Amino acid sequence: MDTYLSTETEIPWRRAVLSVDQFSRSDIAELFMLADTLAAMPQKPLAGRTLANLFYEASTRTSSSFFAAMTRLGGTVIPINEVHYSSVSKGETLEDTVRTLECYTDAIVLRHYDNDAAERAVRVCEVPIINAGNGTGEHPTQALLDLYTIAKERRTIDGLTVTMMGDLKHGRTVHSLTKLLRMYDARLRFVSPPELRMPAEYLRDGDEQYDDLDAVIEDSDVLYVTRVQRERMQGGDKAPAFDFDYALTRDDMDRARDDMVLMHPLPRVGEIPTELDSDPRSAYFRQMKYGLYVRMGILAAVLGSI
């Protein structure tokens, strides 16, 4: 299903964060400055405000970082991280669930397995919806924190060569990040097995697609690795394996630039061995910390306190 082709993207991001399409470069610059400010100077502008974390799919980073961001800003959180223990298990619709939560909260962070879930929610809900991942569609707040990470680690985004490797078909983080990078003078390269290529809607003339990393590791400024999302494939765990060796090696890192930034939205399931964690170019744990600040910025802006 196509994502965000409707007029919902006309909604300002401070009203609801549905897609990276809602952001201009100046919006992003403003958000990043806000994230910098909130990271450096603890404030409680959201005291008395409440956030719902409504997750229909598993999450560690997104759910806990929104929780941490909200509480650091003085607010409280209603966590519904396991919808099976909510009235969803009795057959309650997404629409009724968000209309219920809007009675108690000032914003709803929503992760859902359907691509149109965030749009459906925003149509019936008075409080801001923040899309925390919609099926194989987008993960806008992840892409914003990814961009912030690149900006922090490299001090620029323009002029960089960014290589994305992994399951580019199902990976919503790479879909959103690709769209964001189009706003900058970045060169994009995509590495995946043929079955997991970046969908055509995200490709542009001049994009380079590769079957393996060999040809591109040496001049990548950023290498963004993602896992294979078997849960989104027909057959799930029993889906056929791909003839593609994802695991990054020490040899790959030896060939990479000294200032390359290695990123991963996590969780990883073997694409980056732990022996590479101590490499100063491995930024995936710093990436999570940056995510806390960006999500603090998003919450402060969406809840209208700053």
Site residues for ligand CP per CB under 6 A: 59-62, 142, 265-267
- 66 is written with which tokens? 């929104």
- 279 is written with which tokens? 């490499």
**Nearest distance in Å: CB 304, ligand CP:** 25
Give the residue with the Cβ less far from ligand CP, 28 or 109.
109
Give the residue with the Cβ less far from ligand CP, 128 or 171.
171
Taking alpha carbons only, the member of 143, 183, 162, 128 closest to residue 19 is: 143
- 193 is written with which tokens? 């097995």
For residue 140, give the H/E element and its range.
helix 140-154
Give the residue with the Cβ less far from ligand CP, 120 or 295.
295
Give the residue with the Cβ less far from ligand CP, 134 or 142.
142
Q: What is the largest CA-CA distance in the chain?
A: 55
For residue 295, give the H/E element and its range.
helix 284-302
**Nearest distance in Å: CB 205, ligand CP:** 30
Give the residue with the Cβ less far from ligand CP, 22 or 59.
59
**Nearest distance in Å: CB 264, ligand CP:** 9
Give the residue with the Cβ less far from ligand CP, 61 or 170.
61
Give the residue with the Cβ less far from ligand CP, 111 or 216.
111
DSSP 34-54: HHHHHHHS---TTTT-EEEEE
Side chain identity, residue 110:
L
Give the residue with the Cβ less far from ligand CP, 193 or 265.
265
Helices 284-302, 140-154: crossing angle, 10 deg rounding: 120
- Cα dihedral 254→255→257→260 (10° resolution): -70
Taking alpha carbons only, the member of 196, 194, 200, 208 closest to residue 163 is: 208
8 A C-beta contact, residue 207 and residue 262: no
**Nearest distance in Å: CB 134, ligand CP:** 12
**Nearest distance in Å: CB 218, ligand CP:** 27
**Nearest distance in Å: CB 215, ligand CP:** 27
Give the residue with the Cβ less far from ligand CP, 61 or 295.
61
8 A C-beta contact, residue 117 and residue 132: no
**Nearest distance in Å: CB 33, ligand CP:** 24
Taking alpha carbons only, the member of 211, 218, 228 closest to residue 251 is: 218
**Nearest distance in Å: CB 85, ligand CP:** 19
| Residues contacting 298, CB < 8 A, separation 6+ | 17, 31, 69, 130, 141, 144
**Nearest distance in Å: CB 221, ligand CP:** 21
8 A C-beta contact, residue 172 and residue 135: yes
